[in-house]
Chain A
Amino acid sequence: MDHQGFKHRLQNYTGIQLLLLGSFLGVAILFTSGLGYVSISFGDVFKIIFAKLFSQAPLIESMDRLWPTIVMDVRLPRILTSAIVGGGLAISGVIFQGILLNPLADPYTLGVSAGAAFGASLAILLNISLIGTFSIPLLAFLGAAATLFLVIYLSASSGGLSSNNLILSGIIVAAILSAGISFLKYIADEQVAVIIFWLMGSFASKTWSDVLLTLLAVCAGFLIFIFYARDLNLLSLGNRTAASLGVKTRHTTLWLLITASMVAAICVSVSGIIGFVGLLIPHMMRLITGPDNRKLLPASLLAGATLLLIADTVTRAVLPSEIPIGVLTALIGGPFFCYIFRKRQTGGGQAV
């Protein structure tokens, strides 16, 4: 009972929790901007950003000429992209878990990642360069979107979209696509390395246009999610009950699924496939905020951003050589997931 009482008290402090998570993210961004081959102090990073934001050039005259370029043009775009992608994957995971009534769902459950991977592989293999560097992300996005609509088409029945149908269709389509990816790799010859590298995910050499693109997608997604957050709570009571409480179930489900998949698709198209963030963060945050999506969404956004930012910094600045971020998150996230899953099986905690 004490344990429960503790959780309840925790759940009543949403404002403070969000403030803490937000400040932690802010500090992490400033701190990690200083880390790397050239080490820059926390204060100097702050000065550089402040000077650039408010055009206070004299403030940074005394420091190394390269520092502002390193911070503003090299590190910050990468750091912000990783944070935004982390937040985007986490909130999209919240939505998928809520809609599919399954705490083990993640943004890739409906095959979005497989679709994106197939699109990207195709772009690399055929050397498509219609619109320059954006060709791979564009094809990745198109692949993800096409997969989503195929999955929704397969699972739609007269009674609406059932979570079992969606999960099953997602698995089937993903299986077909992954066979397709294997085939593309098989015929790719020397391009195979590029494909494999893309699939494992990376934030290396991200630019401000990546920041802008992901920021727009994640912000738009977050607003739509928050708008429907209360309806999503009701959907966890089942479609019939939710409808009897005034939720337009089909409309809400469709909007949320499409938005969440688009957010995930845009994240994937920019960064490659990064697993476990969208699965783990909603889990962990639900222990702190409780299952109310109105609290869970902002908490997951901030925590997801912080986690992926830190993970990317580890591979960028801490490890002796850079390992793909998707590999790192899976290597850390996988065992951690096993741990909480096992804890749940042995009754060591509530169902998360």
Chain B
Amino acid sequence: MGFEVNHISFFYGSKKIINDISIEIEGGKFYGVLGPNGSGKTTFLDLLSAHRSPVNGSVTYEGKDLAAYTKKQLAKRMAIVPQNFYINFPFTVADIIMMGRYPYIPRFAQPAAADWEVIDTVMQQTEVFEFRDRFITELSGGERQRVVFARALVQATPVLILDEATSNLDIRHTIDLMNLVSSRVKRSGVTVIAVFQDINLASVYCDDLIFLRNGAIVDHGAKDMVLNTATIKTVFDVDSKIAFEPYINAQQVFFKG
């Protein structure tokens, strides 16, 4: 099932951001969205998560138009890890992560024991457990990013949308979180749709790649099929060489400066 995107377009004022995109996104796969700055990646994610509605065309999830879902229903189906994150109020880390469980907790109820269990497990997996009582306003950018990641994971949704979610993280935390997400794809059939700046990181973790340029899809499909120098040249306008690296069992791209 998954998503079916039918001829969607989106405008900011008169500027066309998304230009007639159609694609089928199957469930249980790790998708990487790649493209230069301003190619419409974030808007594309916003349209998939129903945060914005397409001007033309439609997006269906599990056979039903996104517009037909309530916000509450969507909150149990998709979680988002945004790129920039700033919180002005001194909530504790545990407070913030518990907010990921709100879709499951009635408005005036307290979190149940099961909710605490979920957030404890995720806090340990994302290594935020040791600073769970600190204020979010006092954390470094990378620590905050892990908290936001954890908040999305406790939402326990079949779809996870990452908008450059690891851009603030050091390499070890990036790998840890990507492994965590990747294991959810393999074990629990979670669908991940992630925007990457780092093509080589995407090549390691993704099953499929989607290349965007000027709000349109240049190419998409299994990564071994679509990751080639011609596509890189068209999408990013840089010269490159692609080679299989046995050490990591994935293709890597080398760029000419």
Contacts and interface: CB of A to CB of B under 8 A. Distances in A.
Chain A complexes with chain B: yes
Contacts of A101: 88
Interface in A240-277: 240-241, 243-248
Contacts of A290: 90-92, 95
Interface in A266-307: 286, 290-292
Contacts of B138: 350
A233 interface: yes
Contact of B88 (A8, A102, A158, A244): A102
B103 A246 contact: yes
Nearest to A246: B75
A4 B76 CA distance: 34
B247 interface: no
Contact of B102 (A98, A102, A243, A246): A246
B156 interface: no
Given A240-B46, A350-B90, A233 B99 contact: yes
Given A233-B99, A292-B95, A350-B138, A246 B88 contact: no
Which residue among B90, B96, B107 has the maximum number of chain A CB atoms within 10 Å of its CB? B90
A166 interface: no
A237 interface: yes
Interface in B126-162: 133-135, 137-138, 148, 155
A86 to B, nearest CB: 23
A302 to B, nearest CB: 20
A225 B78 CA distance: 27
B89 A236 contact: yes
Given A245-B75, A246-B71, A246-B74, A240 B82 contact: yes
Q: Secondary structure of the A side of the interface?
A: loop
Given A243-B51, A350-B138, A248 B88 contact: no
B40 interface: no
A238 interface: yes
A225 B157 CA distance: 29
Nearest to A234: B99
Contacts of B96: 237
A101 B89 CA distance: 8
B225 interface: no
B80 interface: yes
A241 B91 contact: no
A244 B91 contact: no
Give chain A's interface residue range (CB within 8 Å of chain B).
20 to 34
Contacts of A230: 102, 107
Q: Secondary structure of the B side of the interface?
A: mixed
Contacts of A103: 88-89
Interface in A212-238: 227, 230, 233-234, 236-238
Which residue among A103, A230, A246 has the maximum number of chain B CB atoms within 10 Å of its CB? A246
Contacts of B122: none
A243 B13 CA distance: 22
Nearest to A292: B95
Contacts of B87: 236-237
A234 B102 contact: yes
A351 interface: yes
A72 interface: no
Interface in B67-88: 71-72, 74-76, 78-80, 82, 85-88
A257 to B, nearest CB: 17
A243 B89 contact: no
Given A8-B133, A233-B99, A351 B75 contact: no
B90 A291 contact: yes
B49 interface: yes
Nearest to A5: B133
A102 to B, nearest CB: 7
A343 B139 CA distance: 19
Interface in B42-83: 46, 49, 51, 71-72, 74-76, 78-80, 82
Contacts of A240: 46, 51, 80, 82
A23 B49 CA distance: 48
Nearest to A349: B90
A233 B74 CA distance: 19
A245 B102 contact: yes
A158 B74 CA distance: 21
B32 interface: no
A244 B107 contact: no
25 contacts: A233-B91, A234-B102, A236-B87, A237-B96, A238-B85, A240-B80, A240-B82, A241-B80, A241-B85, A244-B74, A244-B75, A244-B79, A245-B102, A246-B71, A246-B72, A246-B75, A246-B76, A247-B71, A248-B71, A286-B89, A290-B95, A291-B89, A350-B135, A351-B88, A352-B90
The 5 closest A-B pairs by CB, nearest first: A246-B75, A291-B89, A244-B80, A246-B72, A246-B71
Given A230-B107, A236-B91, A246-B76, 18 more contacts: A4-B134, A8-B92, A103-B88, A158-B12, A234-B102, A236-B88, A240-B51, A243-B51, A243-B71, A244-B80, A245-B100, A245-B103, A286-B90, A290-B92, A291-B90, A350-B137, A351-B90, A352-B90
